[in-house]
Each structure stands twice: as C-alpha cells, then as structure tokens.
C-alpha cells in the first residue's frame, strides 16, 4: 500500500487552487439516478470516493464518462434497484442511492454501508424518514430492504440535522407528487449545492426563514448541467497547513464565507489573513499560535471534518487548548499518532486537552481515517525530520492531487509503495 514520506520543517508558500467539493459531488452524482436524461457535472474532483460512486452508477445501469473533472451521466439500459456489498463497503455515502431508487422503483435493497471508522453513524434517521414517506424498512442479512405500495408526501422532523439523511430524503421526495416538508435539516453548503442541482433538474425545493425545506414533488425530472461548489474542507485544510508551517499561502477558488468560523478562529489564534471574495491569503507570523477552546457543531459551526487538522495546529500552540468533538463519538484516533510525533494530547470521551509544544518531530505513523490522515500530513509538514504515513488510501478519499499541490507549495512529500519499492 502507498505511503507518504515527508521531510518536514519547510514553510509552505505560493498559491493553491481549491477543487470541487467531494461532499457535494457524491450526492449530486447520485441524484442523476432520478432521471434517464443526460446530466453533465463539472468540477468533480478525481478522488477515490468519486470513482467508487461512478462505479456504483455504472453497476446500477448508467453510462458514465469522466474526463478532466467533468462527469457525463446518461442512460444505458434499465436501472437496477439493488447494490452488492463489495461496492457499498467502500464508502458510507453509497447508502444515498436508497432515496432515488425508492422513488423510482418503490423498492430498493442496499447493504448497510461502510466508510471511515469514526463512529456508528446510524442510518436510522434515513429509515424513519422513508417510513414517513410511506415505505417499510426491513433489515435482514446485513441489507436494508425498502418497499412501498405507494409513496406519499409528509412532514418529517429529523432528530438530528444529518447531512446524508437530508439529502437522501430530498432526492426521494422530489419524485413524490405533493408537498413534503423537512424540518431540522442540515444547512451545510453542500446541501445547498445539491438543492441547486435538483432544482436545475426540474425539482421545486424552497427554504423558509428557519431553513425548513419544502419539496413540491414532480412526476419526473429532466437532465441538467451543474458546476460543483468549492470544497470548504479542502480549502480549510490548506489554510491550517499554511498556519501550522508559518507559511505564506493563497488559497484560491474557494468560498471564504463557508469557512467563516475557521477564519475567525485562525485570526483569534494569531494567524494573519487577507480575505477576498474567492480567496484567503494566509500570511506568515512570528512565535506560536494562541490556544483556543473549540467545539464542533453542525453548519455554520466549526466543521467536524476540520477538527483533526485543527488539532495539529493546536498541538503547536503556546498554552493549553481544548477540543470538544460533538458530532462523532470516535473521531480522535489521530491523537495517539500525533503524540508519537511529540504532541501532548489527552483525550477523554468527546474532549481532547492539548498542551502545546514548541515543535513536533517526524515519526512513522498510520492514518486511520480521511481527516485524521490529513492531520498527520499537516503534522509531518510542520515537524522536524522525516515522517512516514501509512494507509494514505484514506487520505486519497478526500484530497485531489494532494502531493502535487503540496509540492507546488514547496513541501517535500513523496508517495512511496514499499511492496513495489518505488516512489
């Protein structure tokens, strides 16, 4: 398996372009199941999760063409309404096909999903919503079987503003004539981008002042063309990497307001920023960053996907910092690896207490999930000496051309496969 070899201690400098959002691309690609007409999606990042999603669409009966960040999805015969575990186990977002397939066939069979080992992340919110729409959900032999004689519009109040459940239920409701109302929904920019695409397909989705969504279902949707929104997690990760190395980096083609809490926290920690309409310039600074207390929360709060990279920055702070992970119950698996690199971190349940150190040192570490893996990359960039990171396939799930982009910023990072003994 591939590894990253990083020679740390170099300040990042230069300009980096933000890719299209992984977390918006996946549900938008899935939404093409709602029509047989061609859909063209631009700014789709070349990521492992995206490639898995395209394989899922092909398996289900779609014709897929993907080149230079543009995906053309069209009909290729009748659709299937079930997936094999071999595909689903690779990515939790594969469960999102349940909504479109249920809407089109009134039945769907999907294995319970896999993905990063950062918590239970149950699909019960999805299933209870589908039941409100008139479906029955039965779990047997590791599969969820959904079926309905007739789907009906409904009022659905989510017990938690789940991004996946919001998107899944939206897609299903688009093909149920009548008015469905979703309350306590996720308000992430990626959800807004999915809504924008669905409306381009002919859906009728509106939000009220409280963020509740009303879906006026249609009998069919048509093809559409769309460009995916910028990836706020990728752009935020590069901002944190620049801050951790005391670098001078312009993050371009991003949407700064989508990272407003992160930008406020960076500035409060002492990192100077210049913010424009579509870029953030992270400027160099002297000394060490100030310690902060941070708590993850649904958007517009601090993104849980940036918690791990933020922990790396706080590991270098001047004082005692604290992180409260309020979204997932098992998302500190990167902390012991940072400790191997010299960080002083103590975790207890959902709290991480960090005593900042002057510097980190290179070490042999292992990525256990996507964002935790990026935290180790940032640590390796900031550390003295050589860092070797195993299981970088986790990182490949969410960061397009990572080593190329970092190399262009002056980092010394190489991909190495010990089985083939080649870089």
Q: Give catalytic residue positions.
A: 116
Say if strands 143-147 and 136-140 run parallel, antiparallel, or are unpaired: antiparallel
Residue 216 half-sphere exposure toward CB, CA atoms < 13 A: 6
With 0-12 CB in 10 A as exposed, 13-18 as middle and 19+ as buried, what is 359?
Answer: middle
What are 145's strand-pairing partners? 109, 138
The CA distance from 224 to 198, in Å, is 9
Residue 297: name the closest of 164, 395, 186 by CA.
186
Answer for the pair 252, 405: CB distance below 8 angstroms, yes or no.
Answer: no
The CA distance from 370 to 155, in Å, is 35
DSSP string across 166-192: HHHHHHHHTTSSEEEEEES----HHHH
The CA distance from 384 to 33, in Å, is 49
Residue 225: phi and psi, rounded to 5, are -120, 140
- CA 388 to chain centroid, in Å, comes to 24
What are 129's strand-pairing partners? none
Cα Rg of the chain (Å, integer): 22
CB contact set of 99 (below 8 Å; sequence gap of 6+): 126, 130, 167, 168, 169, 170, 171, 172
The CA distance from 237 to 243, in Å, is 10
Buried b (16+ CB within 10 A) or exposed e, 347-357: beebebebebb
């Amino acid at each position: 398996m591939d590894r990253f070899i990083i020679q740390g201690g170099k300040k990042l400098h230069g300009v980096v372009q933000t890719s299209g959002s992984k977390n918006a691309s996946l549900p938008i690609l899935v939404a093409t199941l709602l029509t047989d007409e061609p859909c063209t999606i631009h700014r789709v990042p070349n990521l492992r999760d995206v490639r898995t999603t395209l394989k899922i669409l092909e398996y289900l009966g779609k014709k897929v063409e993907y080149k230079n960040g543009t995906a053309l999805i069209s009909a290729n015969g009748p659709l299937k309404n079930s997936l094999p575990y071999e595909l689903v186990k690779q990515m939790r977002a594969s469960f999102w096909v349940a909504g479109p397939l249920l809407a089109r066939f009134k039945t769907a069979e999907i294995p319970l999903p896999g993905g990063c080992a950062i918590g239970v992340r149950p699909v019960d919110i999805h299933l209870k919503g589908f039941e409100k729409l008139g479906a029955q959900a039965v779990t047997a032999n590791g599969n969820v079987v959904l079926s309905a004689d007739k789907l009906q519009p409904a009022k659905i109040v989510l017990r938690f503003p789940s991004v996946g459940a919001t998107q899944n239920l939206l897609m299903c409701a688009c093909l149920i004539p009548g008015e469905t109302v979703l309350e306590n929904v996720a308000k992430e920019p990626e959800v807004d981008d999915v809504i924008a695409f669905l409306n381009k397909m002919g859906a009728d989705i509106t939000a009220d002042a409280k963020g509740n969504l009303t879906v006026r279902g249609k009998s069919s949707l048509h093809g559409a063309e769309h460009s995916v929104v910028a990836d706020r997690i990728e752009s935020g990760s590069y901002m944190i990497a620049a801050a951790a190395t005391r670098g001078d980096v312009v993050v371009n083609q991003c949407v700064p307001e989508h990272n407003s809490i992160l930008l406020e926290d960076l500035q409060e920690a002492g990192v100077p920023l210049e913010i424009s309409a579509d870029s953030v310039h992270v400027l160099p600074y002297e000394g060490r960053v100030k310690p902060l207390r941070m708590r993850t929360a649904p958007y517009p709060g601090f993104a849980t996907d940036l918690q791990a990279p933020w922990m790396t920055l706080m590991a270098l702070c001047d004082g005692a910092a604290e992180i409260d992970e309020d979204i997932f119950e098992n998302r500190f698996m990167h902390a012991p690896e940072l400790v191997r690199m010299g960080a002083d971190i103590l975790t207890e349940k959902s709290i991480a207490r960090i005593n900042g150190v002057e510097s980190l040192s290179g070490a042999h570490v292992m990525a256990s999930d996507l964002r935790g893996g990026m935290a180790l990359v940032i640590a390796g960039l900031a550390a003295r000496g050589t860092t070797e990171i195993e299981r970088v396939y986790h990182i490949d799930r969410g960061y397009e051309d990572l080593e190329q982009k970092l190399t262009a910023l002056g980092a010394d990072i190489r991909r190495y496969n010990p089985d083939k003994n080649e870089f």
